[in-house]
Amino acid sequence: MNRSPLFMTDKGEDIQCELCPNNCRIKNGGFGACGVRGNKSGKGIIPFYGFVSAFAVDPIEKKPLYHFKPHSQILSLGFTGCNLRCPFCQNWHISQNTEICDQGHGRWMQPGEVISAALKHDTPSIAYTYSEPLVHAEYVLNCMALARKHGIANVLVTNGCVNKEAASIILKLTDAVNVDLKCFSAETYKNILGYKAENTLQAVLDFIRVCHEMDVHMEITTLVVPDLNNSQEELNAAAGYIASISEDIPWHLTAYHPDYRWNAPPTNPVFLRNAAKEAGKKLRYVHTGNI
């Protein structure tokens, strides 16, 4: 089983990571924006390969996936690190804390142990979730390949911030995806959620389109955050883009609650229901959550 870093090339003493739109050029001894893909003596390293920060059996609807294997249980794995820095992140204690593995939390699991756990718990699917799984592409790919051999479905819960080459490779082994479309503003992605990358929104939109073209079951989630992404104009634009791909793609509009570094009031449930009703004019399946 290949544990070599992927999507990383030598640039003299530097490493160029081409996994996601940040396209980090990593100096010797450093890490990329995600905090988990690094450079040691001019060679790419992935020292968090196999570290699982969270491990649980969940209802699949919790991902949320309402239209893929409904009412089934799913084995869920979380990781550490993320290529975004959302100030309202609800899983910030693992996504923004790569020191968690030194703090007595989590466990190290080989891909075979993950498959054994799924078989033991009799879960028909495995979810790579909680924090961003794609920054651990090598581990996720190895788990997915083994899962396929055992007839277990692979579910990716992701922010979709990944370049096209990596997306196409990972999606070949993916059965279902929930894409977290944070907003429909390139400026918000650049200035509030990410690392100043110019094309993050476009990368997410491209990922959504590639999922559909590759016939991977897809549902989309947007956490509706007051004064960030909750204008009716922006929500209409997001709904329009999704509908331009397929009006059958389910869209989950979920309520925000203050967390991490964001203290805006919670999403108004009435507003959220009205937003879902409006989106329903363009999309067949619009769900609300966290209310």
| Rounded (5°) CA angle 95-223-227 | 105
What's the pLDDT band for 103 if we cut at 50, 70, 90?
A: confident
CATH superfamily of domain region 49-289:
Aldolase class I (3.20.20.70)
Read off the tokens for 11: 């640039």
CA–CA separation, 256 and 221 (whole Å): 12
State the pLDDT at residue 198: 84
What pLDDT, in 10s, does the model give residues 234-257? 999 999 999 999 999 999 999 999
State the pLDDT at residue 104: 72
Q: What is the pTM of this model?
A: 0.96
What residues contact residue 98 under an 8 Å CB cut-off, 6+ apart?
A: 31, 35, 36, 48, 80, 81
> Burial level of 68, CB count in 10 A (0-12/13-18/19+)?
buried
What pLDDT, in 10s, does the model give residues 158-201? 999 999 999 999 999 999 999 999 999 999 999 999 887 889 99
State the pLDDT at residue 142: 98
- Answer whether residue 1 shows pLDDT above 80: no
